[in-house]
Amino acid sequence: MYKTVRGRTYWIEQSGEGPVLVMLHGFTGSTRTYEEVIQDFSESLQIVRIDLPGHANTGSIGVLTMEQFCRDLHELLLQMNFHKVNILGYSLGGRTALSFSVLYPEMVDKLILESASPGLDSSEDQLARQAQDEGLARKVMEDGIESFVKMWENIPLFQSQISLSEEAKNKLREERFSQDPKGLSESLLGMGTGKQPSWWDRLGSITAEVLLITGAEDTKFHSINERMMKELPEAEWISVQQAGHTVHLEEPSIFAKIVEDFMIQ
């Protein structure tokens, strides 16, 4: 279903009954990202999935900052009569879920972050990443979605996806190919890692219960989450063996069990 806030229209999917779990996908993802995980849930959960700005059925809605989208998400949830939710996010979706928890702590009960970070904590790193993301934004607009996806799926961060089945690889590629170049460009320019605020100094103020999930083969985010654990007041961290950046895709059943156990504890 489509819902509109501040003149911007978002695609939202809602299913099931029970505790509310908002699931936010990563860059080049969609509401389809967590389909296999949801199928593996045995407990009853009310799942809310949203196509993030620039992605899939939401598509191009302009360049939004992280704070602007979180404000839209807050209003969308209130429109749906949700005043307290649990929220899970992967990568871009994880940065978004964390940002939402910092900005609207009264709305979040449990926070699940998969391969996520609080952003970059130095202005030099932020500026360098902004330049990198601006380059990617130009590339997707100039080269088109197929060329961009072929480049994107071969970056070192996704090296562990080589072990995926051909069926899983094809589904992932299809999801990426379905994206609109203009929308992805807007996402990079507005909600890229370099553009979002750094939340490192706000981690200690998070009131939600936090679960961090990383793949043991993802050394970059293993290091980031190790540091996050020292700053978060109430958190646990699970590193999944034989998985990289996309734990939900590489080990969906294990990922589903981890999330479900955290939700019902």
3-state secondary structure at position 22? strand
Question: Are 100 and 70 in contact, with CB atoms under 8 Å apart?
Answer: yes
Beta bridge partners of 9: 4
The full set of domain ranges for the chain reads 2-264
Q: Tell me: the pLDDT tens digits for 27-82?
A: 999 999 999 999 999 778 999 999 999 999 999 999 999 999 999 999 999 999 99
The edge-to-edge listing of strands for the beta sheet with 8-15 is 2-5, 8-15, 46-50, 20-24, 85-90, 108-114, 209-215, 235-240
Report the predicted TM-score, pTM, of the whole model to 2 decimal places.
Answer: 0.96
Question: Are 76 and 10 in contact, with CB atoms under 8 Å apart?
Answer: yes
pLDDT at 45: 92
Q: Give burial (CB, 10 Å; 0-12/13-18/19+) of 137.
A: buried
Q: What average pLDDT does range 184-195 have in this prediction?
A: 97
Beta bridge partners of 14: 48
- DSSP 8-state code for residue 14: E
pLDDT band at 159 (very low <50, low <70, confident <90, very high): confident
The length of the chain is 265
Of 6-10, 167-171, 187-191, 195-199, which range is least confident?
167-171
Q: Does the pLDDT of residue 161 top 90, yes or no?
A: no
Question: What number does CATH give the domain 2-264?
Answer: 3.40.50.1820
Q: Does the pLDDT of residue 178 top 80, yes or no?
A: yes
